[in-house]
Amino acid sequence: MRRLSSAPKGDTVLSNPVIPGFHPDPSVCRVGEDFYLVCSSFEYYPGVPVFHSRDLVHWTQIGNALDRPSQLRLPPDSASSGGLYAPTLRHHDGRFWLIVTNVSGDGNLLFTATDPAGPWSDPIPLPGVRGIDPDLAWDDDGTCWCTVAGVSQVRIDPHTGETLGEPQPLWSGTPGAKAPEAPHLHHIGDYWYLLIAEGGTERCHGVSIARGRTPQGPFEPCPANPILTHRGTDHPIQNTGHGDLVQGPDGSWWMVFLGVRPHGGSPGWHVLGRETFLAPVTWVDGWPVVGEVSPVLSPPPWPLQEPVPTPVRDDFEHGELAPRWISPRSRPVEHCTTEERPGWLSLRARGDSLDDPEAVFVGRRQQDPTCRVRTLVDPAAGRGGLAVRLDERHHYEIEATREEVLVIARVGPLRSVLASHPAPGGPVVLRVEVAATREVRDPRQGPDTVSLGLEDAEGRYVDLARLDGRYLSTEVAGGFTGRVIGMYAAAGTVHFDWFDYSGGEG
């Protein structure tokens, strides 16, 4: 994962987003000197990535909260951009509490852990909590309030999942603004602050806030609402919204929130998904004021931690995959293992292409507008390769068999083989290069170019196809996710010796 342009010294340049790539809907809490953050994961398994930081700037993924089939049920027919929506992470009474909506069948679920790295408990169902984007907050007397999009609130027993009373409507944001969602209730000073997102998660997204003397209200809206939005601007960071507040160890306040980085001409396409950004917060007359949102982040007023970079290369030498690896809906061990051929990742096909919701695919989020991805694949017993995936209807891949290497594109209802090349015999290095558009010469110009090819026996790159990246963007495909780049099997068993990802500027 790209963190810094240099080590954390006095002249360090810090990059925003603080967690790049498909990491939307951040929720954060602080315990002592440690910050913990979770994000939505939608149809991917394992679900709900968990991050740790000491400075709010450098984040390390320490696990996934839902990493067992007993915790996360995503049926094969569940839609892309379904699954897990908008978790909230809180620490109360010596435990971590995570509440999230599985829109693909199980509704709202509650999990607990003593260590946020896991293991997390099996789910506590919340059948009486209706609505998405659930939030948890505890009153001074220990009452637990669950607030959901809409916006409504109900008292619950977090140990059993029982609702105690009927849901009550709260403040639902600006009159006429669509999609009041992502509520987070914070007790700060003399007030309870109800933070929400509104306007939809596209270009009109924003954050608004209201306050009341009790967690049940009544709530008065901030006269400066929305307190965060980039709607109607040419700011390089757009769709800003879905925020959460956290206080630093020095007493300062901060907001984490989602945003996107569009590239290309009009209307601008974002391909990495919604990412996690950070901004400072000050207080004026009892209301939060969000500071500048910039691609270059001013450091917090406490020591920066030494960044822990995500490894560029994975040689699959360990029994379990690192937490950054994700798969659509499930990852049965009989279809994905590092034990069958030590030092290799072996994928056994289930479904004959990435068009199939049950396709066997293991990938990691694209986190840089410009990047290069390589893998060494042995297709002797099957067919598979390297893919850039947005969903079942939008993906590019370079696929190898013993006889040939193909470039395949799926865009909506169209699926085409765009190029072929004789297989070199034996394992082959497949490569994907993504180059962000740096200068727009035509308003129709796409956000980036995706090149797919292979390396010959001398290590020289053979470029087989260059494709417009707009077709793997949210603005074309719809939905809520970003690109994931990884390995797949479409027939038989395919082995992968290593995988490396290197990000560039962009």
| Active-site residue, selected from the candidate residues 25, 43, 133, 448 | 25
Confirm whether 181 is a catalytic residue.
yes
Long-range contacts of 110-113 (CB under 8 A, 24+ apart): 110/136, 110/158, 110/161, 111/65, 111/66, 111/71, 113/65
- Looking up tokens 């950070």 gives 278
364, 409 Cβ separation under 8 angstroms: no
Residues in contact with 116: Cβ distance below 8 Å, sequence separation at least 6, in sequence order: 36, 50, 52, 62, 63, 65, 89, 96
- Bridge partners for 193 per DSSP: 186, 211
Q: What gap in Å lies between CA 199 and CA 229, rounded to an integer?
A: 10
Per residue, the 3-state secondary structure of 169-214, as one string, reads ECCCCCCCCCCCEEEEEEEECCEEEEEEEECCCCCCCEEEEEEECC
Long-range contacts of 227-235 (CB under 8 A, 24+ apart): 227/287, 227/288, 227/289, 227/290, 228/255, 228/257, 228/279, 228/290, 228/293, 229/199, 229/204, 229/205, 230/259, 230/293, 231/199, 231/203, 231/204, 231/205, 231/206, 235/293
Confirm whether 368 is a catalytic residue.
no
Q: What gap in Å lies between CA 169 and CA 183, rounded to an integer?
A: 12
| Active-site residue, selected from the candidate residues 181, 244, 397, 448 | 181
74, 66 Cβ separation under 8 angstroms: no
47 CB burial (10 A radius; 0-12, 13-18, 19+): buried
Q: What gap in Å lies between CA 434 and CA 442, rounded to an integer?
A: 19
Coarse DSSP helix, strand, coil percentages of the chain, rounded to the nearest 5 percent: 0, 50, 50
Q: From the CA atom positions of the chain, what is the Rg in Å?
A: 23
233, 413 Cβ separation under 8 angstroms: no
> What tokens appear for 116 in the block?
């946020």
Q: Give the other-Cβ count within 10 Å of 129's Cβ.
A: 24
Catalytic site positions: 25, 181
